[in-house]
Amino acid sequence: MISVRDLHKRFGPTTVLDGIDLDIGHGERVVVIGPSGTGKSTLLRCLNFLDTPDAGRITMGDVTVDAAHATRAEILALRRRTAFVFQNYALFANRTAKENIMEALVTVQGRPKEEAERRALAVLAETGLSDKADSYPASLSGGQQQRVGIGRAMAIGAELILFDEPTSSLDPEWVGEVLDLMRSVAEQKQTMLIVTHEMQFAREIADRIIFMQGGRIVEQGPPEQIFDAPRDERLRRFLRRVTQ
């Protein structure tokens, strides 16, 4: 379903992605782990051109984009197949929860407002936020804001949802409700690529775990291999630090 070949990204003199090759199957849940600053978030952002890759090829369904020659039309076609859940929620402060979910349905997908509103209300019900439909982000808890962000991603029916450390900005009391919602999304066979520091959650939800360091994929495999029988010493050191 999704193919990434030889993806590169530099920021000034720093190489952040150094030749990433990655395939993700339909309905597969892939979790990316690794030290901070190793390119995990940049990988997600390059997949829908929030950050522009310097080189590489990305294929989603019938859309293939060569980073070196990408046109605006190709980038838009790629973005229509993805949804992004940000660390900091990225909600419009001047729109209600319902309106935040409706926005992409109307402006990107061109749906009538009445249809977009029905879809937004249905998603808010799925996320347990029906009573917050007319609330603005400032009146919502961090957990509620992130659930709206996930609802926004759910609403557009994207082929791939990219989750960039979705619990990292939350107070501890809100983490559980967001992880529970992500489990619910995963149960619907949604294709997901998740960057997270929640190791137990990664073990529970992932079909495959990728360990990145230095802008490269160092090791990947099912959770039991990665957590119980890691092969690479760098992965073993990382797990000792994060699971103590």
Per-position DSSP letters for 21-77, written without gaps between them: EEEE-TT-EEEEE--TTSSHHHHHHHHTTSS--SEEEEEETTEEEEGGG--HHHHHH
**Residue 85: closest CA among 35, 122, 25, 127:** 127
Rounded-to-integer distance, Cα 22 and Cα 25, Å: 10
Which pLDDT value is given to residue 150? 96
Rounded-to-integer distance, Cα 144 and Cα 135, Å: 10
Task: Map out the domains of the chain as residue ranges.
Answer: 2-243
Which pLDDT value is given to residue 142? 94
SS3 string, 88-123, reads: CCCCCCCCCHHHHHHHHHHHCCCCCHHHHHHHHHHH
Average pLDDT per 10 consecutive residues for the chain, totaling 244 residues: 95 96 97 95 96 96 93 93 93 97 92 96 96 97 96 94 93 92 93 95 96 97 97 95 83
Which pLDDT value is given to residue 46? 97
Rounded-to-integer distance, Cα 240 and Cα 17, Å: 25
Beta bridge partners of 9: 17
Secondary structure letter of residue 134 according to DSSP: T
Which pLDDT value is given to residue 108? 86
Cβ-based neighbours of 129, under 8 Å, separated by 6 or more: 97, 144, 147, 148, 151
Architecture of domain 2-243: 3-Layer(aba) Sandwich (3.40)
Which pLDDT value is given to residue 169? 86
Here the tokens at position 185 are 């999304």
**Residue 56: closest CA among 39, 44, 69, 72:** 69
> Cβ distance 146 to 114 under 8 Å?
no
Report the predicted TM-score, pTM, of the whole model to 2 decimal places.
0.94
128 three-state secondary structure: coil
**Residue 138: closest CA among 100, 168, 181:** 100
Cβ-based neighbours of 98, under 8 Å, separated by 6 or more: 117, 120, 121, 124, 133, 134
Which pLDDT value is given to residue 13? 95
